[in-house]
């Protein structure tokens, strides 16, 4: 009895694995096609300078226009493309596209607007990121100071010496580096002080209850104070309400991003958004 049950379980398990492997293989085929047919697009989320209230940049966020389904967020396919290596060609496309757009902005009445691009750990492991960026800056003609790269601590857990060398070269070019999702996992300021980093983006989990949870408020205050003494710019992520925005301003947080300040949007919408924003400021 027990044996036959085990046998059945094994059969179910194998059937399940086969199905999942087939699903993954089908997704891989679709993702390859997505690259070939340029089904990827970038949305841009405004970044605000909290002291002036001006939009000073945008984070480029990957979207997949999946045929028959619609716009798909990265959570649905990033884990897969990091597993199968497709993040390398996709990541290159993202960098090139974001830089190309940022150059256009400079000529479209949005001077000084910078673009921020997320990089995966695999890109640092498999590619010479500083060389890739050098080539893309030359090809697109983007001023290096208008490019920001966002990395997470998973990048730091890679071969640290190699990553640090790469980051140093990037900064020599004039590119700035941000630590994304700061505060979750092992990231600490003790660690960051040894790294060639310009900004830290405080993870939105600390911002969510910032106005009601004294612990989160204390953590933010500590990050701002220590970060500033290390000459870092502090960015608050996931700002969803006017109260959170006010709190970040009072605490001296430098920059903010979040649905309250602007959702990720297609490039044409972003351009119109910034133009309207500047007009408002001029009139005020």
Residues 91-110, interacting with ligand C2E (CB under 6 A): 91, 94
What tokens does 264 get?
């990720």
Residue 52 DSSP SS3 = coil
Q: Is 148 in the site for Mg ion (CB under 5 A)?
A: no
Q: Minimal distance in Å, beta carbon 121 to ligand C2E?
A: 9
| Per-residue binding letters, 75-94, with Mg ion (x by CB under 5 A) | --------------------
Applying CB under 6 A, which part among 68-76, 212-220, 225-233, 248-256 lies near ligand C2E? 68-76
Chain center to CA of 125: 18
Q: Minimal distance in Å, beta carbon 7 to Mg ion?
A: 43
Count of residues interacting with ligand C2E (CB under 6 A): 23
Q: Minimal distance in Å, beta carbon 92 to ligand C2E?
A: 11
| Per-residue binding letters, 3-42, with ligand C2E (x by CB under 6 A) | ----------------------------------------
What 31-37 contacts at long range (C-beta under 8 Å, 24+ apart), as own/partner pairs, is 31/77, 31/80, 31/81, 31/84, 31/86, 32/86, 34/64, 34/66, 35/86, 35/89, 35/90, 35/93
Of 181, 118, 168, residue with least CA distance to 147:
118
Within 8 A by CB and 6+ apart from 93, the residues are: 35, 40
Distance from C-alpha of 284 to C-alpha of 279, rounded to nearest angstrom: 9
Do residues 114 and 148 make contact, with C-beta atoms less than 8 angstroms apart? Answer: yes
Q: Minimal distance in Å, beta carbon 283 to ligand C2E?
A: 27
Which residues of the chain form contacts with ligand C2E (CB under 6 A)? 45, 61-62, 73-75, 78, 91, 94, 118-120, 150, 180-181, 204, 238-240, 257-259, 264
């Amino acid at each position: 009895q027990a044996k036959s049950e085990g046998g059945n379980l094994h059969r179910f398990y194998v059937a399940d694995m086969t199905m999942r492997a087939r699903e993954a293989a089908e997704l891989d085929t679709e993702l390859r096609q997505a690259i070939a047919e340029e089904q990827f697009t970038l949305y841009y989320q405004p970044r605000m300078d909290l002291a002036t209230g001006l939009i000073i940049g945008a984070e480029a966020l990957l979207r997949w226009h999946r045929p028959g389904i619609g716009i798909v967020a990265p959570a649905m396919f990033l884990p897969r493309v990091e597993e199968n290596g497709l993040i390398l060609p996709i990541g290159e496309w993202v960098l090139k596209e974001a830089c190309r757009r940022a150059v256009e902005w400079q000529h479209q009445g949005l001077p000084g607007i910078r673009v921020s691009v997320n990089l995966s750990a695999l890109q640092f492991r498999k590619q010479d990121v500083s060389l890739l960026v050098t080539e893309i800056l030359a090809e697109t003609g983007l001023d290096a100071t208008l490019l920001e790269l966002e990395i997470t601590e998973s990048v730091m857990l890679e071969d640290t010496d190699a990553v640090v060398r790469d980051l140093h070269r990037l900064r020599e070019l004039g590119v700035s580096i941000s630590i994304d999702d700061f505060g979750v996992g092992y990231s600490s300021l003790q660690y960051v002080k040894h790294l060639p980093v310009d900004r830290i983006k405080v993870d939105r989990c600390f911002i969510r209850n910032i106005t009601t949870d004294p612990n989160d408020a204390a953590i933010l205050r500590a990050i701002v104070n220590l970060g500033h003494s290390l000459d870092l710019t502090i960015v608050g992520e996931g700002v969803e309400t006017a109260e959170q925005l006010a709190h970040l301003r009072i605490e001296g947080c430098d920059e903010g991003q979040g649905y309250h300040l602007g959702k990720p949007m297609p490039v044409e919408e972003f351009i119109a958004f910034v133009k309207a924003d500047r007009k408002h400021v001029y009139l005020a």
